[in-house]
Amino acid sequence: MQLNPPLISAFAREFNFEDIRPYYDHEARKIMFRLLEDPLFFKLVNYLWPEMTAEEVRSKADKVFSNLDFQLQFMHAAIRTIVAKSSDGLTCSGFEQLDKNESYLFIANHRDILLDSAILQILLVENGFSTSEITFGNNLMDSGFITDFGRLNRMFTVQREGTSKELYEISRKLSAYIRHTIEDKRTSVWIAQRNGRTKDGLDLTQTGLLKMLNISGTASFEKNYEQLRIVPLTISYEYEPCDVLKVKELYLSSLHTKYKKAHGEDLNSIVTGIRQPKGRIHLAIGKPIVEELQRLNEISNDNEKTKKLTSWIDKQIYTHYKLWPTNYIAADLLEKSDKYNQYYTSEEKSSFVSYMKNSLAGIDGDSDFIEQLFLKIYGQPVYSRNQAHL
């Protein structure tokens, strides 16, 4: 158990991480009992653990001496309950490619605000690994209860607002913190491949993310990324969390209307993602990108090196995406063909079309275009997989 703040390498010493870091283990017990005094915590308990009595809650809280204790006593069962209630099963692959003595940077496609990273945590534990730290946007880290709950769950804050100069300094600090976590704390990190969730079905890694990660490196381009031990991570939902909310946002944006989130919209997306039936779910761990980095020596330009690294991450994410009948049906509906009909039954197609029609009934506008937006969310992974194999 980590009783004191970890040692800090030279590259991170100029930064104060107090405003973004998760709680240290020695702070966990105090925070746990502070949560117990907040009425919101018991409202959350009633939702996530409806069978748990107040006595059981306090008994579990008394076993919390670290962040991991909190995750094992409370969060693990909660996420498993969500998966059981809202899905038709969770499978995984690729954990044999990881070393339990190493820490990694999981760069993941991002489909659901909460569940993408939360599902990784339960599978890490069930496969014999410790949990990772998790990036969380400052728009979701409100003051008080939410902040305590998130930081106790090993979440660290990503600041997303500021002037160009401020955002550059934020990037430097975030980069240093991630490298500090992996190298000094020997703790893995989950980060999305892009800002915000994928809303059009196209899982693309932003080159800006990789450039941010390199800022804190003090060695060569190749060595800087080798130290981070990047692992592409792919989560695939048979039914996309918040699909209708994503279509609404895309449709409004297509009308050249500046989309502005309503107050509480992110929280609504979290709750919708938790409750919405998701069908089957698969999480795939990719192969750590380490050996390939030596091939970048042949490229002289760092921008070109970044593009190459981005393409390697994307190729693994596309290749490991678990294609469900819903994906193949959507691709055929988009192309007005039966090219992929060997992957689904007529009953599955009829069910998906009914689901789409019912789901989109509440959106006013060009119904054909709205359906196209919906189908692209599901059909794009098929095209991405095909492209990855070229």
Please give the domain boundaries of the chain with CATH numbers for all domains. 10-241+276-322 (3.40.1130), 326-388 (no CATH)
Q: What's the confidence (pLDDT) of residue 44? A: 81
Residues of the chain with pLDDT under 50: 1-3
Q: What's the confidence (pLDDT) of residue 45? A: 82
Q: What's the confidence (pLDDT) of residue 5? A: 57
Q: What's the confidence (pLDDT) of residue 64? A: 96
Q: What's the confidence (pLDDT) of residue 3? A: 45
pLDDT digits (tens, 9 = 90+) for 229-287: 999 999 999 999 999 999 999 998 888 766 666 665 666 777 787 888 999 999 999 99
- DSSP letter, residue 139: T
User: Measuring CA to CA, which residue among 239, 250, 222, 294 is closest to residue 115?
Assistant: 239
Between the two ends of the chain, the Cα-to-Cα distance in Å is 47
Q: Find the helix packing angle between 207-215 and 302-320, rounded to 10°.
A: 120
3-state helix, strand, coil split of the chain in percent (to 5) is 55, 10, 35
Q: What's the confidence (pLDDT) of residue 1? A: 44
- The residues, any chain, with a CB within 8 Å of residue 122's CB and separated by 6 or more, are 76, 79, 80, 83
Chain Cα centroid distance, residue 175: 18
**Rg (the chain; Cα; Å):** 21
pLDDT digits (tens, 9 = 90+) for 313-356: 999 999 999 999 999 999 999 999 999 999 999 999 999 999 99
Q: What's the confidence (pLDDT) of residue 52? A: 84
